[in-house]
């Protein structure tokens, strides 16, 4: 669970708006929450618990475990480490198991080999490779003369000359160095390989056993493939694990809408896409996929070679920085690092660099303007989407600091993120797995809360979370959207939209004299009012025994550290008609001149001027 930290007592005042603020404002300055999340592939350079912690502190939200490399047993150890780090930190850290899928890869090699241009090479199913004969994980005998064989994301290109049984003989059109276990693509050729391989079965067992937060399905062709993975998880009693469909085949692009409808998330796997499709088509395909996902409220990850040069360099290229920026401007939920964090020389530096690029983009007027121009429409008949879209504009128009989405399953929080509000989205949920899963969603800061048994408690928890995460300060206006599918009797909190003013409770005592006032507070142990300015709240210490001297008309409220509701201060408060709270000793950090609010009806003293929001309304 989240590490315990000292927290002030928080409550909320049922009131309304503060001063509206400009919508096009910098919302991603240093220290503020970043909207686009960062997914990191864990490998030999980053698989220790200490490094995982450093990556999380640098900005990683999701640990990706690539089943194409390493062993299932080692991935289970990494999941244990990730869970331990998640327990230590306030922000959630999710785990994604990325299935190898029906991929074709070259054999494992100790040292790279070179395939010279214009040389002849034979591809066979096997576990070794030479410049003349390259072993593959699966046969590619379905290819025919003239077909193209691409190795290592197209860095090496071969043309098929003939097929002899299970052997494919090809000419190297564009040669190069080939290292261990590189991907093999045959654009337009259907390789007869099962969607779920025996190796994937073991990874699905791991995902179910370790309660993985996501499973990424490779080489998805259509919605039926997504459902096949879902059936495999259900057979393992793991149907609650969301499926991320990786779009990396031309056929998947053609069936995009069906895949988005079937999947819980989508990954734009640009490496294979750039091999399967014409390279010049990939940027537009990426934008189309992101836009489709945003419009449907489905989280989308933009992946592959985003900061690739940082595998060995301290700084990215300008083109890579622009690549990340464009994905963020397009509205992606997350950007992903692969080799940069798996085998790179300085994984933590890479994440810090990615974090800086994303924050800089999100603090720009161009980003705010683009976000405002691309707000999806709510689906017809969807009450949750209609309210989530309304919450977005309501937060903008009343100057709210945060939208709080109360969400048991995560559905309401994801729908809130779908409309890309201009303020942070704090999601509260009683489900710790949902808390981690929401780590992937744009702009969402998930917080675990206990089950609430009435609407008042639900809203109190929501405001408490907003203040606890720093998304709001005492006196800020919040928009609270509750979409909990309640499981407790007597509570109906489904699809509720409310506006609240949040307030930090300084101290709770007894309501001695009713009324509300916000003003500077001044201490006295003697009752001497001669130095107290007009319009002040008087705080009496625990040793006060006498009577007031000076101008009583300067007093607009009384806070008495002593118990009792019938003593001298209470008599004066009633005569003056000012609110009073007894048995309330202010924290030492509240000094003379600090503005507080006295709620004489509830016996609470709040930090700041909580009444101002209602007054402005």
pLDDT of amino acid 495: 73
The per-residue pLDDT for range 402-439, each reduced to its tens digit, is 999 998 899 999 999 999 999 999 999 999 999 999 99
Q: What is the pLDDT of residue 520?
A: 96
State both tokens at 413.
Answer: 């929080």
CATH number of this structure's domain 113-185, picked from the four choices 2.60.200.20, 2.40.33.10, 3.90.1150.10, 1.10.600.10: 2.40.33.10
Q: Which residues pair with 505 in a beta bridge?
A: 606
Cα–Cα distances in Å, from 90 out to 4, 62, 85, 271, 446?
8, 14, 10, 34, 10
Per-residue pLDDT, averaged over 596-608, amounts to 89
- Can you tell me whether residue 106 is helix, strand or coil? strand
Tokens of 29: 């300055």
Whether 192 shows a pLDDT value over 80: the answer reads: no
Asked if residues 110 and 258 have their Cβ atoms less than 8 Å apart, the reply is no
Q: What is the pLDDT of residues 531-577, one digit of tens each?
A: 999 999 999 999 898 899 999 999 999 999 998 888 899 999 999 99
- Rounded to an integer, the average pLDDT of 204-229 is 96
Query: For 588-600, what is the mean pLDDT?
Result: 92
pLDDT surpassing 60 at residue 15: no
Query: Would you say 300 and 294 are in contact if contact means Cβ atoms under 8 Å apart?
Result: yes
pLDDT tens-digit profile of 217-275? 998 999 999 999 999 999 999 999 999 999 998 889 999 999 999 999 999 999 888 88
pLDDT at res. 210:
97
How many degrees, rounded to 5, is the angle at CA 388 between CA 384 and CA 394? 140
Are the C-beta atoms of residues 277 and 250 closer than 8 Å to each other?
A: yes
With a cut of 70, say whether residue 491 has pLDDT above it: no
pLDDT at 351: 98
Do 606 and 596 form a contact (C-beta atoms < 8 A)? yes
Helices (H), ranges, 297-426: 318-330, 339-342, 347-362, 365-373, 383-398, 411-418
Asked if the domains 33-101+195-362 and 113-185 are classified in one and the same CATH topology, the answer is no
Question: What's the rounded mean pLDDT across residues 204-208?
Answer: 98
**Residue 310 — very low, low, confident or very high, per pLDDT cuts 50/70/90?**
very high
Statement: residue 150 has pLDDT above 50? yes
DSSP state of 448: E
Give the phi and the psi of residue 356 in degrees, each rounded to 5: -65, -40
Give the rounded percent of residues in the chain with a pLDDT score beyond 90.
72
Tell the CATH topology of 509-616: Glucose Oxidase; domain 1 (3.50.30)
Q: What is the DSSP letter of 166?
A: T
Between the ranges 173-187, 223-237, 266-280, 373-387, where is the mean pLDDT highest? 223-237
8 A C-beta contact, residue 570 and residue 578: no
pLDDT tops 80 at residue 460: no
Using 50, 70 and 90 to split pLDDT, how confident is the model at 27? very low
Let me know how long the chain is.
Answer: 617
Q: Band the pLDDT of 8: cuts 50, 70, 90.
A: very low
Q: Tell me what the pLDDT averaged over the chain comes to.
A: 89
pLDDT at 30 over 90: no
> From CA 135, how far away is CA 150, in angstroms rounded?
14
Retrieve residue 474's tokens: 């005492």
Is residue 541 within 8 A of residue 527, CB to CB? The reply is: no
> Yes or no: is domain 373-504 CATH 3.40.1380.20?
yes
Domain coordinates in residue numbering, the chain: 33-101+195-362, 113-185, 373-504, 509-616
Q: How confident is the model at residue 335 (pLDDT cuts 50, 70, 90)?
A: very high
Place domain 33-101+195-362 in its CATH homologous superfamily.
Phosphoenolpyruvate-binding domains (3.20.20.60)
pLDDT band at 610 (very low <50, low <70, confident <90, very high): confident
User: Could you list the active site residues?
Assistant: 64, 105, 246, 304
How far, rounded to the nearest angstrom, does the alpha carbon of residue 403 sit from its chain's CA centroid?
14
Pairing of strands 536-540, 516-524: parallel
**542 CB-contact burial (10 Å; exposed 0-12 / middle 13-18 / buried 19+):** exposed
Contact at 8 Å (CB) between 420 and 392?
A: yes
The phi and psi torsions of 200 (rounded to 5 degrees) equal -65, -35
Per-residue pLDDT, 450:
85
């Amino acid at each position: 669970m989240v590490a315990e930290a000292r927290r002030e007592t928080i409550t909320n005042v049922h009131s309304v708006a503060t001063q509206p603020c400009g919508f096009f404002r910098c919302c991603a300055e240093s220290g503020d929450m970043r909207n686009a999340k960062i997914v990191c592939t864990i490998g030999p350079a980053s698989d220790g618990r200490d490094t995982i912690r450093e990556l999380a502190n640098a900005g990683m939200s999701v640990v990706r475990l690539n089943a194409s490399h390493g062993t299932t047993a080692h991935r289970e150890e990494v999941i244990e480490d990730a869970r331990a780090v998640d327990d230590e930190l306030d922000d959630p850290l999710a785990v994604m198991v990325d299935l190898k899928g029906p991929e074709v890869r070259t054999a494992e090699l100790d040292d790279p080999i070179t395939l010279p241009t214009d040389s002849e090479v034979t591809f066979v199913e096997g576990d070794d490779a030479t410049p003349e004969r390259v072993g593959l994980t699966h046969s590619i005998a379905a290819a025919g003369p003239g077909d193209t064989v691409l190795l290592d994301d197209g860095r090496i290109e071969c043309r098929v000359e003939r097929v002899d049984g299970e052997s494919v003989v090809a000419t190297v059109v564009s040669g190069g160095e080939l290292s261990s276990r590189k991907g093999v693509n045959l654009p337009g050729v259907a390789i007869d390989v099962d969607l779920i391989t025996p190796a994937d079965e073991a990874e699905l067992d791991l995902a179910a056993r370790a309660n993985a937060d996501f499973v990424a399905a490779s080489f998805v062709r259509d919605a039926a493939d997504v459902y096949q993975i879902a059936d495999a998880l259900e057979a393992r009693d793991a149907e609650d694990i969301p499926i991320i469909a990786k779009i990396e085949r031309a056929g998947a692009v053609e069936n995009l809408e069906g895949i988005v409808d079937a999947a819980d998330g989508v990954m734009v796997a640009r490496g294979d896409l750039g091999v399967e499709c014409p390279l010049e088509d990939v940027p537009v395909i990426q934008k189309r996929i992101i836009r489709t996902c945003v419009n449907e409220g489905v989280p989308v990850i933009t992946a592959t070679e985003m900061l690739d040069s940082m595998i060995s360099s301290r700084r990215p290229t300008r083109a890579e920085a622009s690549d990340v920026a464009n994905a963020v401007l397009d509205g992606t939920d997350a950007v992903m690092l692969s080799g940069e964090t798996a085998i790179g020389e300085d994984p933590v530096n890479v994440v810090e660099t990615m974090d800086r690029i994303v924050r800089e983009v999100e603090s720009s007027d161009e980003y705010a303007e683009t976000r405002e121009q691309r707000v999806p429409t709510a689906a017809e008949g969807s009450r949750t989407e209609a309210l989530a879209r309304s919450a977005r504009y309501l937060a903008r128009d009343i100057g709210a600091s945060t939208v709080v989405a109360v969400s048991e399953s995560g559905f309401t929080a994801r729908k809130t993120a779908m409309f890309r509000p201009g303020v942070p989205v704090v999601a509260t949920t009683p489900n710790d797995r949902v808390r981690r899963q929401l780590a992937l969603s744009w702009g969402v800061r998930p917080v675990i809360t206990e089950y609430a048994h009435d609407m008042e408690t639900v809203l109190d928890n929501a405001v408490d979370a907003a203040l606890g995460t720093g998304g709001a300060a005492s006196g800020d206006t919040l928009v609270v959207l509750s979409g909990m599918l309640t499981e407790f009797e007597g509570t109906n909190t489904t699809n509720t939209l409310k506006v609240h003013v949040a307030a930090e409770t300084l101290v709770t005592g007894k309501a001695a004299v009713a009324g509300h006032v916000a003003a500077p507070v001044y201490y006295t142990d003697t009752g001497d009012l001669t130095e107290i300015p007009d319009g002040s709240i008087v705080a009496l210490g625990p040793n006060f025994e006498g009577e007031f001297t000076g101008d009583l008309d300067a007093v607009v409220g009384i806070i008495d550290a002593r118990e009792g509701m019938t003593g001298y201060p209470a008599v004066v408060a009633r005569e003056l008609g000012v609110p009073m709270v007894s048995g309330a000793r202010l924290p030492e950090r509240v000094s003379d001149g600090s503005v507080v609010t006295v709620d004489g009806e509830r016996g609470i003293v709040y930090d700041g001027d909580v009444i101002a929001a209602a007054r402005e309304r």
